[in-house]
């Protein structure tokens, strides 16, 4: 299973590389960062981390993710030994966080004709990151890319795991699922696989708690979408690859996420790829999550009526991006939402800006007749969104989240107030004496 292992160490830090064959015509480049002590501000590390990148060689050549910029020279030197970068046909960007995309600009320089493959929002993020034109191919859930020699790649939408632009990639020939951050861990060691479960399970759960737990519903959605595949190996973006205990660890993600969703205040946010719907939806979702409210992003064209009924029954709030008038599938889902909605819920609507949006005000009237409370005024899109539009959407999401948590916040304030009064009652005599003493001391100074 493990092929060549070659380590290279820099003079100033313990950065090593480990290339290995993980499946037919599939090579992993594991970048081992032995001494990293912190990942983001809130994420102290005890066992370093790894950044995993993958090469798939069919009739066409694909690179899945790059690496952190700190590995630039080591990574590029090794890559040129493994392949001719100028022959790369595709660069698959699982998401654009710098630890995964830190060398995209370098790859574009070495392979200027490469096609960058990613979710719509990932391509948009990259355009703002690399500041140069490049060939791109936007993929959605279920889209496929044929590399030849049996390597047919199928893409899985996995938004919010843990960035909004995340996708998984499944190779039907090798049964390898490349999952970016999901199912990974910040753990650095030479064993490339999960042979010793006891050794890694604490880091596995810690990683989930820090990055995936806030998006538990999105975790469940991704697990459901990948359920149709026969998976042999999960090729993670960080830490060891999952092979020996793959099913056990995926089940842990499922159980942890299922337990988390039972306690969340939830907003169901419906959007599509039509117009600017997905961009606006993610800005609204970002505002909602700032208030501690969970968000389930639902694509009008990637769900079933039964799932929608169950979701609406759980949701405290509904946010709907207007689908195209011609989108019959979305209108069937919309009818399901109207049938399941009830008067204790909040609702909000926004246009997608595609030019043929379903009219917003007749739908608004229908929800008002049912008795739902409007959380924020309809957002009407008359031109391409910009930063000010994103800000409006984010603030609207925050307003909704604050409205949904108002009772909880009032209770917390009352609890704090009661505790404070009790505390003041206990120390009131001492406080009075201290003030008298301070007054006397001040008088002596004068």
Examine the domain organization and report whether 277 and 245 are in the same domain.
no
The whole-angstrom separation of Cα 375 and Cα 402 is 10
pLDDT at 79: 95
pLDDT digits 0-9 by tens, 27-67: 999 999 988 877 654 567 778 889 999 999 999 999 999 99
Q: Is residue 431 part of a domain?
A: no
Question: At which of 217, 245, 261 does a domain end?
Answer: 261
Does 442 map to a domain? Answer: no
Distance of alpha carbon 398 from alpha carbon 284, whole angstroms:
8
* Lateral strand order in the sheet of 317-321: 294-299, 266-271, 317-321, 346-350, 373-374
Do 255 and 283 lie in one domain? The reply is no
Same domain, 199 and 143: yes
Domain span at 398: 266-404
CATH assignment of the domain containing 251? 3.60.15.10
Q: Mark whether 237 and 288 lie in a shared domain.
A: no
**Is 287 inside a domain boundary?**
yes
Residues 309, 198, single domain; the answer is no
Contact 258, 220 (CB under 8 A): yes
Q: Is-contact 296 315, C-beta < 8 A?
A: yes
Could you tell me the pLDDT band of residue 8, with boundaries at 50, 70 and 90? low
Does the pLDDT of residue 314 top 50, yes or no? Answer: yes
Number of compact structural domains in the chain: 2
* 176-223 pLDDT per residue, tens: 999 999 999 999 999 999 999 999 999 999 999 888 887 888 899 899
Q: Is residue 208 part of a domain?
A: yes
Q: How confident is the model at residue 421 (pLDDT cuts 50, 70, 90)?
A: low
Segment 152-170 shows an average pLDDT of: 91
| pLDDT one-digit tens code per residue, 332-380 | 999 999 999 999 999 999 999 999 999 999 999 999 999 999 999 999 9
pLDDT of res. 301: 81
Residues 239 and 305 occupy one common structural domain: no
Is the domain of 177 the same as that of 322? no
**What are the beta bridge partners of residue 297?**
269
Same domain, 247 and 108: yes
Diameter of the chain by CA atoms? Answer: 93
User: Is there a single domain that holds both residue 133 and residue 170?
Assistant: yes
Return mean pLDDT, the chain. Answer: 86
pLDDT tens, 241-294? 999 999 999 999 999 999 888 767 899 999 987 899 988 998 898 899 889 888
Domain boundary residue, one of 226, 242, 261: 261
Burial (CB < 10 A; 0-12, 13-18, 19+), residue 417, is exposed
Let me know whether 191 and 283 are in one domain.
no
């Amino acid at each position: 299973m493990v092929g060549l292992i070659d380590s290279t160490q820099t003079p100033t830090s313990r950065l090593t590389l480990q290339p290995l064959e993980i499946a037919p015509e599939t090579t992993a480049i594991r970048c081992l960062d032995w001494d990293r002590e912190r990942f983001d501000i809130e994420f102290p590390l005890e066992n370093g981390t790894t950044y995993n990148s993958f090469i798939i060689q069919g009739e066409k050549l694909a690179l899945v993710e790059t690496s952190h910029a700190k590995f630039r020279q080591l990574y590029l030197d090794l890559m040129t030994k493994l392949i001719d970068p100028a022959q790369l046909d595709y660069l698959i960007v699982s998401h654009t966080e710098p630890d995964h995309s830190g060398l995209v600009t370098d790859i574009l320089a070495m392979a200027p004709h490469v096609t960058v493959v990613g979710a719509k929002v990932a391509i948009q993020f990259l355009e703002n990151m690399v500041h140069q034109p490049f060939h791109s191919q936007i993929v959605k859930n279920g889209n496929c890319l044929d590399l030849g020699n049996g390597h047919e790649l199928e893409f899985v939408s996995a938004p919010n795991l843990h960035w909004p632009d995340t996708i998984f990639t499944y190779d039907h020939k090798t049964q390898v699922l490349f999952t970016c951050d999901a199912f990974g861990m910040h753990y650095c060691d030479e064993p490339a696989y999960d042979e010793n479960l006891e050794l890694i399970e604490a880091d596995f759960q810690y990683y989930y708690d820090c990055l995936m737990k806030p998006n538990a519903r999105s975790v469940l959605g991704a697990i459901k979408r990948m359920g149709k595949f026969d998976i042999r190996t999960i090729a993670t973006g960080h830490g060891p690859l999952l092979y020996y205990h793959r099913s056990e660890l995926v089940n842990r993600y499922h159980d942890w996420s299922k337990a988390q969703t039972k306690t969340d205040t939830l907003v169901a946010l419906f959007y599509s790829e039509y117009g600017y719907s997905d961009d606006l939806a993610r800005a609204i979702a970002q505002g909602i999550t700032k208030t501690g409210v969970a968000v389930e992003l639902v694509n009008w064209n990637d769900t079933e009526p039964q799932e929608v009924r169950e979701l609406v029954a759980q949701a405290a709030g509904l946010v709907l991006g207007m689908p195209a008038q011609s989108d019959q599938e979305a209108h069937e889902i919309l009818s399901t939402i109207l049938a399941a909605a009830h008067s204790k819920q909040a609702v909000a609507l926004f246009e997608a800006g595609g030019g043929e949006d379903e009219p917003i005000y007749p739908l608004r009237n229908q929800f008002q007749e049912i008795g739902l409370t409007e959380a924020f005024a309809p957002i009407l899109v008359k031109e391409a969104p910009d930063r000010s539009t994103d800000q409006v959407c984010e603030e609207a999401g925050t307003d909704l989240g604050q409205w949904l948590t108002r009772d909880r916040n009032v209770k917390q304030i009352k609890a704090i107030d009661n505790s404070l009064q009790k505390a003041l009652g206990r120390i009131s005599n001492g406080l009075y004496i201290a003030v008298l003493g301070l007054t006397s001391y001040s008088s002596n100074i004068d």
